[in-house]
Structure 1
Amino acid sequence: MQRWDRIEAFIEVARLGTFSAAARHLQVSTSHVSRLIGQLKSQLGTTLLYRTTRQTRLTDAGALYYRHCRHLFDGFREAEEAIVDFQSRPKGTLRLTCATTFGERYIAPLVNDFQCRHPQLEIDMHFTNRRVELVEEGFDVAIRMGVLRDSSLIARRLCERREYVVGSPAYFERAAPPHSLAELPHHNCLRGSRDSWLFEINGHRREVRVDGRWRANSGPALLDAVLKGLGLAQLPDYYVTPHLARGELVPVLTAYQFTDTAVWAIYPRHRHLSPKVRQFVDFLVDHLPATLQGEGSFPR
């Protein structure tokens, strides 16, 4: 190892032009650099440098030796950079879970784009409307929507999300649009997987229990039912904005709309430094908002 120290000191002196500059770069004393150069001169049996008070120049032997040794150290640096790059690349298997419709429609295409950039990565996507326990079930990331409950998991906000209470023009020909939450019991409230709808009253979150003659644990089925005039429904923006823009659905109770919801990436704390998790979440932050906006927009 001592010989490599001597060669490195010589290369830096030749590259930077002075012993003092080489010493600063190597974070050693000038006398230490001078000693290493002297040892290298004795080892090779020839003078490599002409040193004066003003400058340092290579001898012919020194120039020849520098040309060969420089390539060696360039190779060492490239090897170190390759290791750093390898350690920072996403690798292994990325296991993620998301609600079915949102995952199939928006997350899966972005996951596929991410793997195109990192073909060495293996992907395992699991779409379900069941609340998955990340640590117990071995998932790296979950994409969740709405208001998060307290958790020891790390949550990163990916983009905004709003929910609308909507009905079709055909439904409102039969029933007057509600103007207060107290009027909801007079309407057929189409329910998904929840019995309560989320509202904001005087700056506070409030869940209101609703009831009706229709229920399904499917967002697309719920959207179809409300479009066909069967009742009112509360659905997130990515379902309804195109239909609102075309007048196929009408928003109601907008004064009570709860706005503090979002789409989140959730992951265990011990996965935080994993390149596959960190870079995938960064990728979603960069691309998911534009993907959702591409679906159309409605004034909020």
Structure 2
Amino acid sequence: MYDLQELEAFVAVVRTGNLTASTRDLGLPKSTLSRRIRQLEERVGQPLLLRQSRKIVPNDAGRVFYRYCNDILELVAQGREALDELKAEVTGKLELRCHESFVRGWFSRVVESFMSEHKDLRVTIHTQRKLPETAEDGICIWLGETGETGLRQEVLGVLEQGVYGSPEYFREHGTPATPGELARHSWADLLGAGNTEVNLRHSRQGKYPLSLPDRRLTVDQLTVQGDAIAAGRGLGLMPIWLAERRLRAHPDSFQRCLPEWYGPALPVTLLYPHGILPRRVRAFIAHLRTCIPDGWAGNVRTSASTVPEIGTYPSST
């Protein structure tokens, strides 16, 4: 009979190729990790690892044994999940990933309210500036287009954008009265926000293709962009819902111009893995759906992305 801790230590070393990295992943001292590897090799009856230069790699026996170790550990994880489903409690580790614009404020309160209901849950929050490739043991909330991903997608709502500037900037440079006047103003933009041309929309006048001037300032966070606009660095497109929340906390820091014109709408998307989700993930998704703000226009749901209720399973994945 193999010791699961020894199998976990072996798999970690093969994956990282390094004892130091494996100790960080497992939260173990290097001496403990080395002892578990040594004990496993004694149980197996032959060496499993080779040291090549600065990297540790499996030998022929190690490569064969590694595949079976993964299967064993996966079965153990599935067994634990199945047992968890029999409990009323939501427990375990929940990995949450969130676009940087939502982490402060709304999302943190969603997480706090969920954790207050589930005292034995351990939660990790990752701030995202680019879309993750995976969302194991959790979910991701993203603002903007997602494109093709390996994750299931559910659009929770849409954020309209408006053009904003600071009162000081408008006093010094004038307030644009038409979209055509925007081209002569400085611009504080988001890194990777799009092309040099965007379409503004008006309910009666239709679309206006706006060729943006050279950006005076380009940043990679909406919070920093808001700071730059408030400081008078230029005008910028911002999600109206986020801008209004900021203005409630910092009145008169900036104001909207051309209020009847809107920039490209940004979808707010929930992403999560395919297949049967652990109870804690399904419970968080259900909780999240009850916390969608009214200001997210449309509050769209995609029927194809429905997550099973707690305690039920789909007939297929």
The TM-score normalised by the length of structure 1 is 0.57
SS at match of 1:269: coil
Give per-residue Cα distances to partners, 1:93-129, cap 9 Å, x unaligned.
2111112342133212321221221223221211131
The match for 1:222 is 225
Q: Are 1:280 and 2:278 counterparts?
A: no
Amino acid aligned to 1:103: V
Go from structure 1 to structure 2 and tell me whether the alpha carbon gap of 1:153 and 1:199 turns closer, same or farther (over 3 Å shift): farther
Go from structure 1 to structure 2 and tell me whether the alpha carbon gap of 1:291 and 1:111 turns closer, same or farther (over 3 Å shift): farther
Q: Are 1:145 and 1:261, in contact at CA under 8 Å, matched by a contact in 2?
A: yes
SS at match of 2:190: coil
Matches of 2:132 and 2:279, distance apart in 1: 23
SS at match of 1:184: helix
The match for 1:239 is 242
Give per-residue Cα distances to partners, 1:264-297, cap 9 Å, x unaligned.
21112225x43222221121121241799xxxxx
Go from structure 1 to structure 2 and tell me whether the alpha carbon gap of 1:206 and 1:93 turns closer, same or farther (over 3 Å shift): farther
Q: Are 1:177 and 1:252, in contact at CA under 8 Å, matched by a contact in 2?
A: yes
The match for 2:163 is 165
The match for 1:191 is 189
Select the residue among 269, 273, 279 that pairs with 1:268: 273
Q: Are 2:163 and 2:263, in contact at CA under 8 Å, matched by a contact in 1?
A: no
Q: Are 1:289 and 2:293 counterparts?
A: yes
Q: Which moved more, 1:209-218 or 1:163-172?
A: 209-218
Amino acid aligned to 2:187: C
Amino acid aligned to 1:277: V
Q: Are 1:106 and 1:291, in contact at CA under 8 Å, matched by a contact in 2?
A: no
The match for 1:117 is 117
Amino acid aligned to 1:114: F
Matches of 1:91 and 1:217, distance apart in 2: 35
Amino acid aligned to 1:270: G
For residue 189 of structure 1, report the CA deviation from its aligned partner.
0.4
Q: Are 1:147 and 2:152 counterparts?
A: no
For residue 144 of structure 1, report the CA deviation from its aligned partner.
0.5
Q: Are 2:137 and 2:278, in contact at CA under 8 Å, matched by a contact in 1?
A: no
Amino acid aligned to 1:129: R
Would you tell me which structure has more helix in proportion to its own residues?
Answer: 1
Amino acid aligned to 1:289: P
Q: Are 1:190 and 1:211, in contact at CA under 8 Å, matched by a contact in 2?
A: no
SS at match of 2:215: coil
Structure 1, unaligned runs of 5 or more:
1-82, 293-300
For residue 158 of structure 1, report the CA deviation from its aligned partner.
3.2
Go from structure 1 to structure 2 and tell me whether the alpha carbon gap of 1:176 and 1:134 turns closer, same or farther (over 3 Å shift): same
Matches of 1:288 and 1:187, distance apart in 2: 35
For residue 241 of structure 1, report the CA deviation from its aligned partner.
0.9
For residue 133 of structure 1, report the CA deviation from its aligned partner.
1.2
Give per-residue Cα distances to partners, 1:133-191, cap 9 Å, x unaligned.
125xx462111113332445322233442222101222112223334544333111002
Go from structure 1 to structure 2 and tell me whether the alpha carbon gap of 1:124 and 1:236 turns closer, same or farther (over 3 Å shift): same
Map residues 122-137 of structure 1 onto 2, 5 A cutoff: 122-134=122-134
Question: What's the C-alpha RMSD, in Å, of the aligned pairs?
Answer: 3.4
Matches of 2:88 and 2:153, distance apart in 1: 22
For residue 228 of structure 1, report the CA deviation from its aligned partner.
2.3
Q: Which has the larger radius of gyration?
A: 1
SS at match of 2:95: strand
Give per-residue Cα distances to partners, 1:214-261, cap 9 Å, x unaligned.
222232322122122221012223432156675543323444414743
Amino acid aligned to 2:266: T
Amino acid aligned to 1:143: I
SS at match of 1:221: helix
Amino acid aligned to 2:111: V
Amino acid aligned to 1:99: H
SS at match of 2:236: strand
Amino acid aligned to 1:214: L
Go from structure 1 to structure 2 and tell me whether the alpha carbon gap of 1:223 and 1:283 turns closer, same or farther (over 3 Å shift): same
Aligned length: 207
The match for 1:177 is 175
